Every structure is written in C-alpha cells, then in structure tokens.
Amino acid sequence: MPCAVVPVIELKGTAKTVKIGATKTPVLVGERINPTNRKDLIAKLKAGEFGVLEMEAKRQIEAGADILDINVGVPGIDEKHAMLEAIRIVQESVDVPLWIDTSDPAVLEVALKTVKGRVGINSTTGEEKRMDVVIPLAAQYDAALVGLCIDDAGIPQTSEKRVEIARKIIDRAERAGLDRKNLIIDCVALACGTNDQGAKATLDTIRIVTEELGVNTTLGLSNVSFGLPDRPKLNAAFMLMCAGQGMTSFIGNPLDPNMQLATKSSKLFWGEDKFAMGYLTFYRKMQQAQAAAAENK
C-alpha cells in the first residue's frame, strides 16, 4: 500500500473547488465531452450544434463527475471556435473545474486565456516538442498539468520506462518554474486483451510514482478493457485496484452504474462517506430506476 503523501491540487470552476489528492477515493474526471468513437457527437460538432454539450455536462455532474474534460477535436472544424463555445456553454451550465484537452497548442492557449477558474491541461507527453510548448503554457497560466508517460519512442510497455518518462516531465516542468505539486502523471492504461502484462505495468507505475516521486496520478481508465466483454465491470474493478496503488484521479464515464457503485463503495470503505449516506442515497436511486424500468416494460 503506497505510504507517500501526495500534494493536494486545487482546481476551481465558476463556483466549485475540487481537490485532487485530498481523499483516498480518486477524483472522477468526466470523459463524455469528447468526440472520439462517438459519431453522434462528431456530427453535432461539425454542424455547429454545440448546445448538446449542456446536456452532456449536466448529466455527468448529476451522475457524480467532479471535473469535466473538454475535447472538441474533430477533423475539419474550427477547433478554436469550437473550444471557446464548449467552454462557454459548459461553464454556464455547471460550476465545476475543467480539464482542457487538445493537441493543438494554439487552441490550448486561447482556452487558457478564456476559461474561468483554475484548470487542468490534458496533457503533455514526454515528447520534446510537446513539452517545449505545453509546459511553459501551464506555468504562464498557473494550470495543473497532466504528464502522459509516452515519449518520442512511443508507448512504453514497462513500468520502469514509464517512470523514467515521468521523471523527465517533472524535471522539465520544474526547470520551467512549474512545481511538481501541480503535476499529475498519467501512468497509461493499455488494453489487457492484447497485452497480458499491460495492467500490471500500469499498477506498478502508479505505485512507484506515488511512493518515489510524490506526485498525483491519473489514467484514461477505459483503455484497459478495450476489445474485451463486459467492459464496464472491468473498468470499475480496475479503478478500485488503481486507487489501492495510490491513484488520485481518473478519466472515466460517470454515467456508468458500475463506476458509480465503485466510487460510492470506495468512499464508504475509506470512511469518506459519513454514516453511509452517499451510498444509501445512490442505492435508493438505483432501486427507483429499476422499478421505473420494470413498469415501462
């Protein structure tokens, strides 16, 4: 069990502050404002129908997301305009902090100039060209920065190589004036269906980054189950294992009942749910939803 104490990172929305690293239960970053593998959302964004993002934002927060990841990277659209519209609509709809998720540095900078509160940047890799651009922007705009354990050689298969990249990102950030207390290392989740050691490498990386580097960690969690049946249950089980290694945040689907159960039970078992009120409220809502579904059959 990781014994290191990681620093607490405070991110701020229009009204709400979220603290990463303050609890044993990881902070949930809602993943659904992202067009990857979502033909319906791609079509809406291409058509300039950004109003759909209000519903996506509200549903995720109602389901338990603490932070929202904002990605509007669709080929052929004006991503700057789309990002600004997304930020405006989401921040008018919900009060939580945002993670700005783009591969375009120009889009990232205009987003950082516009967004209200203190945000996270998702992300820099350990690639030299990416670090050269993104790290100075994080320092300039006082944003928390996600560092993804990928470098110019690609995605590492071993925890040793991932930790090496994490050290490189931390060193480069500190030399640019960005304290490691504002860094979140993405330890990389790979599909277990094609790499039987992939999940173990992720778990080991989380533990080492937590214990030896004293830095907060995160994952794009659902990658671990790609290509396998019953993905939501696998994702929820993996989240709990990662939390046990010290993971302090993750990008996932807050609408998934399996993930909701995992986060509620984690809070319950770690003593972060006073008198089990959060779990009981969740349980009653699930019962009501099941009863309503049965009546509509």
Helix (H) or strand (E) segment spanning residue 289 = helix 277-295
The answer to whether the CB of 249 falls within 8 A of the CB of 217 is yes
Please tell me the pTM assigned to this model.
0.96
What does the alpha-carbon distance between residue 29 and residue 127 come to, in Å, rounded to a whole number? 24
At residue 174, the pLDDT reads 97
* Cα–Cα–Cα angle for 117, 239, 202, rounded to 5 degrees: 95
At residue 297, the pLDDT reads 77
The pLDDT tens digits of the residues spanning 246-296 come to: 999 999 999 999 999 999 999 999 999 999 999 999 999 999 988 988 888
Residue numbers in the chain where pLDDT is lower than 50: 1-3
At residue 195, the pLDDT reads 87
At residue 4, the pLDDT reads 61
At residue 295, the pLDDT reads 87
What does the alpha-carbon distance between residue 72 and residue 59 come to, in Å, rounded to a whole number? 18
Q: Is 19 left (phi over 0), alpha (psi -120 to 50) or beta?
A: beta
Tokens of 162: 């991932």
At residue 294, the pLDDT reads 86
The pLDDT tens digits of the residues spanning 183-199 come to: 999 999 999 999 889 89
What does the alpha-carbon distance between residue 204 and residue 220 come to, in Å, rounded to a whole number? 16
